[in-house]
Amino acid sequence: MSTEITDELINEFIESKPSVRPETFIKEWEQFKASKQPKPDWEILSYRVKGFVPREGGNVIIDKNSLNWVPAQEGHEYYEIFSVKRLSDGDVFTLSTPISTPKHKNLTLTNFLFHNNILYALTRPTDEKWRISEIENVKKSLFTTEDGQPIYKGDKVALLSTDNWLISYSVTVTHSPFKGDKNQFKYFSTKEVAEDYVLWNKETLSLNEIKELGDIFNHRSNIYFQKLIQRAEEKLNTTHPINK
């Protein structure tokens, strides 16, 4: 975005350069105007060599720490911007990744474009361009809890031990659970949901305790009570098989 030339700007330049010489006037004026341009809220992190490079095995990425770093300009013949960091919050945007805009929730970032010194992100399938300040990365969940809630980095979950049915205090998620963790724990969005799961799934009542609940279970001939006895015997035989 070019700096608008106003009387105030000209007066400020004259006051800052009271003794500017004619032979250096143009150069110093251009430097002064450039110093008044808004600072960009983005930083280019990497470029990609345009097209497929067979000898390199595909796309070649050149990041800012590379010895081959050559800042490319708009319309560069060999390079295109591959990733950009937004300085205001540190978010990084990379080609071919999903982003959201004020109008759409899930688009693909296809290219970066300079226009009047403003950097835009181009999207598909909408064929629109958005300022870097207007886009957001689409967050991908790390996993889903037993109660069906998507969990993202930084969220809190309650862990239920599958060995002793103990529920942990809330823990902050930093990564996807390892396979061993999934075998040892069940993950829930809240402690209350985990407690409800325990209530419905942990074996807590004996047959005598069930009988004490009411007349419906007072007789061994009761069909429902017989089914409970049958189910209890099946579980006992599964846990402690009886040799016949």
Radius of gyration of the chain (CA): 33
> 157 with 170, same domain?
yes
Do residues 86 and 111 share a domain?
yes
- DSSP states of the chain: -PPPP-HHHHHHHHHH-TT--HHHHHHHHHHHHHHTSPPPSEEEEEEEESS-BGGGTB--EEETTSTT-----TT-SSEEEEEEEETTT--EEETT-EEE-SS-SSEEEEEEEEETTEEEEEEETTTEEEEGGG-EEPP--SEE-TTS-EE-TT-EEEEEETTT--BPPPEE--SPPPHHHHHHEEEESSHHHHHHHHHHHS----HHHHHTT-GGGS-TT-HHHHHHHHHHHHHHHHHSPPP-
- Domain match, 51 and 29 both: no
99 domain residue, yes or no: yes
48 domain residue, yes or no = yes
Dihedral angle computed from the Cα positions of residues 173, 176, 179 and 184, in that order, rounded to the nearest 10 degrees? 20
Tell me what pLDDT residue 94 has: 92
Ranking 45-49, 79-83, 199-203, 239-243 by mean pLDDT, the lowest is 239-243
Segment 166-188 mean pLDDT: 79
Rounded to whole angstroms, the maximal C-alpha distance in the chain is: 114
Q: What is the pLDDT of residues 26-82, one digit of tens each?
A: 777 777 777 777 677 888 888 887 765 545 555 677 777 776 666 655 556 778 888
Domain membership of residue 244 (yes or no) is: no
Same domain for 77 and 121? Answer: yes
80 and 127 fall within a common domain? yes
pLDDT grade, residue 215 (50/70/90)?
A: low
CA dihedral 222, 225, 231, 236 (to 10 degrees): -120
Domain identity same for 150 and 215: no
85 shares a domain with 67: yes
Instruction: Tell me, yes or no, whether 219 lies in a domain.
Output: yes
Asked if 70 and 126 sit in the same domain, the reply is yes
Residues above pLDDT 90, as percent of the chain: 19
pLDDT at position 243: 43
pLDDT (mean) for 80-101: 90
Q: Choose one of 137, 152, 176: the last residue of a domain.
A: 137
Higher-confidence position of 170 and 209: 170
For 215, the domain range is 207-239
Mean pLDDT for the chain overall? 77
Q: Span 185-207, mean pLDDT?
A: 85
- 133 plus 147 within the same structural domain: no
If asked whether residues 32 and 57 sit together in one domain, one would say no
What's the rounded Cα separation, in Å, for the pair 62 and 35?
29
Q: Clarify whether residues 164 and 81 are in a common domain.
A: no
Q: Name the more confident of 9 and 184.
A: 184
Last-in-domain residue among 137, 160, 183 = 137
* Single residue among 100, 119, 137 that ends a domain in this structure: 137
User: Model pTM?
Assistant: 0.51
Mean pLDDT of 171-197: 82
Q: If pLDDT is split at 50, 70 and 90, which confidence band does 203 have?
A: confident
Contact in structure between 79 and 47 (CB atoms under 8 Å): yes
Q: List 232's β-bridge partners, or say none.
A: none
Task: Write out pLDDT tens, residues 120-142.
Answer: 999 999 889 999 999 999 888 88
Question: Total domain count for the chain?
Answer: 4
Asked if 27 and 109 sit in the same domain, the reply is no
What was the pLDDT predicted at 242?
41
Backbone torsion region of residue 216, taken as left when φ is above 0, otherwise alpha when ψ lies between -120 and 50, otherwise beta: alpha
114-118, 153-157, 195-199, 215-219: segment of lowest average pLDDT: 215-219
- Residue 175 belongs to a domain: yes
- Does some domain include residue 116? yes
With respect to residue 78, please indicate whether it lies within any of the assigned structural domains.
yes
